[in-house]
Structure 1
Amino acid sequence: MTAAGTEGRRSNRRGIATRESMLEAAVRCLASGDPGAVSASRIAKEIGATWGTVKYQFGDVDGFWAAVLHHTAELRGELPVHTDAALPLRERVSSIIETLYGGLTSTQSRAIENLRAALPSDPAELQRLYPRTAAELSTWGDSWLQSCERAFADLDVDAQRVREVAAFIPGAMRGIVSERQLGSFFDLDEARRGLTNAIVAYLEHSGRA
């Protein structure tokens, strides 16, 4: 009985190690930017695994992509939120902008951008074809909104405006990061300061009746 239990634990550890290896390989492959990397079977081959291994570990390709998203979210962690009452609105906004400016060029972010580019852009189609992946992406949106709400919860700002700001910041920052990657003629330090100033002006004292 003891030997069987020991073997079971070893098998479980091997399974966990295989799963982690596949997720890490997925991030590496997807981050390369190669459109052909968005293939679960190709990623499996990177570590000498088979499609059967993918199915055993994740169920199907939808389960695999959902697991990759969850894995990158764990690596990224939550957005650092400064809730010190003494911290001004401008510094809180600037912190979010700078955190995204640095984070959107990380290996994990490049991997997710490539994966999302290969998935259906229409939410209904994504939900139909990849329900688990769509559900994982939905939790990302919820988590981001909650982080933004916590960041300004103790300040005199309108809750609806915070939601609007939370909705446009990711796209705005991807645009600025894209400019950096392509080589911009603009001063991107000024671009980030301008975006920060605009958000501060929109939120400042907006909670007053």
Structure 2
Amino acid sequence: MSRRAGMAARKKTPPTSGERGETPRRAQTRELVLRTALECLREEGLAGTSAAKIASRCELSWGVIQYHFGDRSGLLLALLDRGFESLRDSLPGVEGDSRNASERLRSLFEGMQTAMEHPDHQVLLDVQIELGRDRRHRAAVQKRAADIRSRLSELWRKTLPEFSADQVDQAERLATLGLQGLSLERAVVGRRAAHRMDVESLAAAVAASLGIE
């Protein structure tokens, strides 16, 4: 690559927050954009949310959005990162937990249920699906999804150390996929009268997979 081509390539790559030097004002602007993007996605849906619309709601120029995130996909990727962090942080801790296995499982299951029934969860799933279709971002999205799965697996194993890793992993996947399915159904058809019963049935199936009554 020639020196001129190398300089051109560097100009097209948005600087990272570390390269810019994060300041309180930059952090506030970044948070404002992410919060506004999430609100816009909730109200307008993914198809109706453009970078220009987000910039307008923030009363910022497109150049400011580009400075922080590069493009719309970069903004959505940052939003996905924040969503994964929020899910991880919302789950209950297990350090020093002296409750029996049934109570610990119930606490963990209910923590996941609360997180997945939050209105933002379906929004972030839509973002994940769209970015996963883009070959430029597919690897990054898959890496983040693998990371959250790894963190969930670790949390479940720490919560239920008296069971084998294989048993716990199967129970975690049953809980995760079941709750995601119920969350998707609720987003599409709304809350049904039987929703609570479905959740209880799923919780019982997860417990039964571990031999917990």
Q: Name the TM tier (shorter chain).
A: 0.7 to 0.9
Identity, in percent, stands at 21
**1:48-63 aligned within 5 A:** 48-63=59-74
Q: Which residue of 2 aligns with 1:152?
A: 160
Query: Out of 195, 200, 206, which is 1:199 matched to?
Result: 206
**1:157-168 aligned within 5 A:** 157-168=163-174
- Give the TM-score normalised by the residue count of structure 2: 0.72
Offset of residue 138 of structure 1? 2.8
Unaligned runs of 5+ in 2: 1-21
Q: Is the 8 A contact 2:80 2:124 kept in 1?
A: yes
- 2 CA distance for matches of 1:114 and 1:33? 13
Q: Is the 8 A contact 1:33 1:111 kept in 2?
A: no
- 2 CA distance for matches of 1:133 and 1:96? 25
Q: Which runs of 4+ in 1 moved over 4 A?
A: 178-181
Q: Is the 8 A contact 2:122 2:184 kept in 1?
A: no
Q: Which amino acid aligns with 1:193?
A: E
Offset of residue 78 of structure 1? 4.5
Unaligned runs of 5+ in 1: 1-10
Q: Does 1:43 align with 2:49?
A: no
Q: Structure 1 residues 33 and 116 mapped into 2: Cα distance closer, same or farther (>3 Å)?
A: farther
RMSD: 2.9
**1:18-29 aligned within 5 A:** 18-29=29-40
Q: Is the 8 A contact 1:31 1:114 kept in 2?
A: no
Q: Does 1:79 align with 2:86?
A: no
Q: Structure 1 residues 172 and 23 mapped into 2: Cα distance closer, same or farther (>3 Å)?
A: same
> Deviations for 1:15-57, whole angstroms, at most 9, x for unmatched residues?
2221111011112122236232443333222212233222211
| Structure of higher RCO (CA pairs closer than 8 Å, 6+ residues apart) | 1
Query: Out of 61, 64, 70, which is 2:81 matched to?
Result: 70
Which segment is superposed worse, 162-171 or 173-182? 173-182
- 2 CA distance for matches of 1:102 and 1:174? 11
Q: Is the 8 A contact 1:97 1:192 kept in 2?
A: no
